[in-house]
Structure 1
Amino acid sequence: MLGADIPQIIGWFVSIGLTGIGILVLLIRVLLSQFEKRLDQRFNQVEKATEEIAKLDYKLMQLKSELPERYVMRDDYVRGQTVLEAKMDALYYRMTGGPAADWNSRAGEQQEKTNERN
């Protein structure tokens, strides 16, 4: 009686063991497929981010190329204004007889005031 039960018991253990191994293999496959899906999602996110970075890089390069055409540096503006003011001063001095005439008239006024005090 016990001799006939041993092969049956061994059969049960083998079938339970194979069932357990089958369940483990199934769980491992399911976990791996979920892991692969998550990796694919992350790679897609990285690709999208890379495309966005490339677009931003292109826009930045465009901005850098357009800046000299749209804006003037402070030093260049000051230099240009200085040139314009010098030209306007030269025109004024030509019209009024030069800076010496203007200076002499001021000096003459100072001399008259000094003479009046004395």
Structure 2
Amino acid sequence: MTLQIEFTWLVGLLLTFFGAAAGIGKLLLSQHQRHQDRRFNELERGNHKLQTDLAKRLDSIETASHSQAERVHQLERDLLRFQAELPMQYVRREDYIRGQSTIEAKLDSLAGKLEIYQLRAVAHGGQTNAD
């Protein structure tokens, strides 16, 4: 049993086979392309949503940063004002002790002079001299 096919039939069968293979390949490629387009669109939507969320977060961070900077600036002003007012409202311990020592020395000197004056008054019999 031998199978004999004419050349035109063979060419026709080959063209049909390759045409069917090309059609199936084209169908598979178009399905793959649709799948890729759908996937790309989903990624674009997700990317757009992420960009929107990121922009919102960056805006909130920027707002927080501005308010934080304003609070730091206010704190610096308060600290400088406090440093300027500090010498006017408070006396250092050493300065207070020195002032007290001066006052006590003057009081001791005055007490000594008063004692001398009283002793002279007693020695002169109650008379007071204007020295």
Q: Highest Rg: 1 or 2?
A: 2
Quick one: which of 115, 121, 128 aligns to 1:96? 115
- Over residues 59-117 of structure 1, what are the superposed CA-to-partner deviations in whole Å (9 max), with x where a residue is unaligned? 0100000000000011111111111111111111111117xx7xxxxxxxxxxxxxxxx
Quick one: which of 70, 93, 114 aligns to 1:51? 70
Shift in Å, 1:58:
0.4
Superposed CA RMSD: 1.8
Q: Following TM superposition, where does structure 1 have runs of at least 4 consecutive aligned residues deviating by more than 6 angstroms?
A: none
- Over residues 39-68 of structure 1, what are the superposed CA-to-partner deviations in whole Å (9 max), with x where a residue is unaligned? 221121111111101101100100000000
Q: Secondary structure at the match of 1:97?
A: helix
Q: What is the match of residue 61 of structure 1?
A: 80
Q: What is the match of residue 32 of structure 2?
A: 13
Residue identity opposite 2:89 in structure 1 = R
Percent identical across equivalent pairs?
Answer: 25
Rounded to whole Å, the distance in 1 between the matches of 2:44 and 2:37 is: 10
Shift in Å, 1:9:
3.0
Question: Structure 2 matches for 1:73-88, cutoff 5 A?
Answer: 73-88=92-107
Q: What is the match of residue 60 of structure 2?
A: 41
Structure 2: segments with no counterpart, 5+ residues = 1-18, 120-131
Quick one: which of 19, 22, 27 aligns to 2:46? 27
Shift in Å, 1:5:
4.1
TM-score w.r.t. structure 1 length? 0.74
Rounded to whole Å, the distance in 2 between the matches of 1:75 and 1:9 is: 95
Count how many residue pairs are aligned between Structure 1 and Structure 2. Answer: 99
